[in-house]
Amino acid sequence: MAVQIALENVSLQFAAKPHPFTVLDDISLALEKGEFVVLLGPSGCGKSTILNLVAGFNQPDSGRVLCGGEPVRQPGPSRGMIFQQPNLFPWLSVLDNVTFGPRLGKHNRDKVNAQAREWLARVG
């Protein structure tokens, strides 16, 4: 199988006073399509940081993050992320929260709304 997600010699520091904090130092990882992987470790070891890099929310200080062989430079439809905390827009309706992502992808609004209503009816 081909590598779907890769981190190649990735390093990342967070700005902290009085000195920057190294979160990831020369991390390499290759995940094949369909592979099931668990990131396990104590709080603060970089698990969420790796996920944020793959999602495109952050960029490494050095090294590369690839998805399907292409560099990850920003969030995109080829990757998804489920957050640990609820991340709804309280000013939007349930339907608008559910359809927010597909609308950004410029999908057909009527079709997206119909599918969302169907799934909302299923889960109540």
Domains of the chain: 3-71 (3.40.50.300), 94-123 (no CATH)
The helix/strand count (H/E) of the chain reads as 4, 4
Contacts 24+ apart (CB under 8 A), 35-43: 35/1, 35/4
For tokens 């990831």, what's the residue?
Answer: 24
**pTM score above 0.75:** no
Looking at residue 23, its pLDDT comes to 92
C-alpha to C-alpha distance for 68 and 7, rounded to whole angstroms: 12
Query: Phi-psi bin for 88: left (phi > 0), alpha (psi -120 to 50), beta?
Result: beta
pLDDT tens-digit profile of 13-58? 998 888 888 999 999 999 998 899 999 999 888 999 999 999 999 9
Looking at residue 86, its pLDDT comes to 73
pLDDT tens-digit profile of 74-114? 988 788 777 777 778 889 999 998 998 888 777 888 999 99
